[in-house]
Structure 1
């Protein structure tokens, strides 16, 4: 698995505000949206393209366009939904599928409760959106499921990641024999006893949608 920690001052700046417990939900949503677009720029460096001939107002020339089949963007519900607008702003012609997964707070294992994906994922390049790579179970299960459905190139985009989740994702995807890439805004210190990233930013879904203690 390839890992890219995006090292950019604007990313660090936006992450700092996202981490701040005083940041309200509307501001959190806006900054998460902006941050995802920055991460998506890094994540799509190897998006598949094909040549195309065009006519400018001055002369004929050649360029590139997104190859077919188009990339598939897959937010993991519910928190991944808060990353969708920022991603499709950069890839407006991409298709979108949804995968609903939830982590059991006792076992920390992920379970699928919703699947709204295209029927045919054969040879599809997929971009999976999940704000937090904590224990790694949810994202690993999502990646494996997409590969089992036929996807042959997976890039996961996370706002924050923990070393434990990174290790688990690597271990659980190393036998898939397809390229798996993680693009993240930062690699934090560790997980706490409840499986939360430290220092982290709390529960991304709760902060996105206004359910905060």
Structure 2
């Protein structure tokens, strides 16, 4: 996976104590030379990203003037080079899925210890897509639960090729693209091409969103 920069960073959080906590975590990880900006609302976050470029945005979901998912969606369209990660107290599956579908690369919970958040941010710098273990367990539980039988179909199920389904199942089991390439005997670039096609067919923007959507469509039986 391609590594990413974590600075400049935009922290979108309305709680001062949490802003200080995240600021301290980033300084500990990146050093005092890290460029860190703050926003406490949807409006101020969008204004900040219009004025400057950010490599990373750490976004809370519950903001005074709206939903942090709206910030992520705006960034996905207007600042696609910015990597967005949710850090929130909200961990409901619907909220997680909405964030991932809007373009979030990861989803972390504030209740995590500082060392856990720090490790997640280090993983992000290496090109990972950090998901809080509590949320990951819920996702895996959904994946391993048989999809209910539906009598009528209201929309056509996306048609994935046999190879795309194979890759999708390995993604759902948590394997990275290089690992999938080794397991299938294909090149990493071929696997990346397959995952892009899967994203397009499922209308999602991340691995976890693809797993959510595929499971809801019964593709991971």
The TM tier, using the shorter chain, reads 0.3 to 0.5
What TM-score, normalized by structure 2, do the two folds share? Answer: 0.37
What TM-score, normalized by structure 1, do the two folds share? Answer: 0.38
